[in-house]
Structure formats: C-alpha cells, structure tokens
Amino acid sequence: MRRLLTPPWIVLHCFAVVLTVAFGLLGWWQLSRAQGGNAISWGYAFEWPLFALFTLALWIRQMRLELRKDDPAAARRGKPEPPPMTSPFEAAIVAARRDDNERGAAARDEPRARHADTEPSLDQRAQGSPA
C-alpha cells in the first residue's frame, strides 16, 4: 500500500480526483441546460458522467496493477505473471518490425525473390535473358 503513496502516485490520485469531479460537474451543467430546453445537451449530460466512470476505472486498474507487481502470494500459487501491459499501438509496431525482419531475412536468403515481381532491367532485356 505504501507504493501508492509515492509522489508520482499522489499526483496521479489528485489528477484522477480532479478529472472525476470536473466531469461530474460538467455532466450536471449539461443536464441543467438540457432541462432548460437545449436538446443537444441531453447527449452531453450522459457523456460527461461516462468520462468520469472511465477515469475511475483506469485509476483503479492502474492501482491494482501496481499492487500486483511484486505479489509474493501470486508466485506461491503457481500462477504465471500476466504479460506486461502494452498498448495496441506498441503491439502493432512490434508486429510490423517482426514482419520487416522476416522479409529482410527472406530477401537476403534469396536475392532473386527481391525483384521477382518487377520488370527486368534494360540490361537484362538487351541481353535477352529471362527475368
């Protein structure tokens, strides 16, 4: 529990509380505008509280992940540790790099495979050699 009381975590706690309260107040404001006759505010009256709930869910998730980092009880139960959390963007970058590396290795192994889908060069056409 002490881990959640370090300066970076205190800043995160304050940020989460401020965002949640601000989103709640914005939802209340939009609800009062909607009741006053502004039809488009009905959508925002439901949207802002959803943002507040999303902020709370992320905050709780991050705290749970932090507390599970070095949990000796999980190791004793024989459960494997979950893989490190990555964003979809990081996963896509890793996959693209892996694909590039595989294509590069294939091109090094078979030099003709590199240009199999292109037309023969002018020199090859002049010599009459097949592509």
pLDDT by residue (tens digit) across 48-65?
A: 999 999 999 999 999 998
Indicate the angle between helix axes 41-68 and 7-35, nearest 10 degrees.
Answer: 160
Higher-pLDDT residue of 123 and 16 is: 16
Mean pLDDT of the chain, nearest integer? 80
Euclidean distance between CA atoms 52 and 113, whole angstroms: 54
Residue 101 CA: distances (Å) to CA of 10, 16, 95, 118: 42, 41, 10, 21
How far apart (Å, rounded) are the C-alpha atoms in residues 105 and 97?
A: 12
- As a whole number of angstroms, the distance between CA 89 and CA 96 comes to 11
Distance CA 116, CA 128 (A): 17
Q: Where do runs of H (alpha helix) occur along the chain? A: 7-35, 41-68, 72-76, 88-109, 111-114, 122-127
Residue 5: pLDDT band with limits 50, 70, 90:
confident
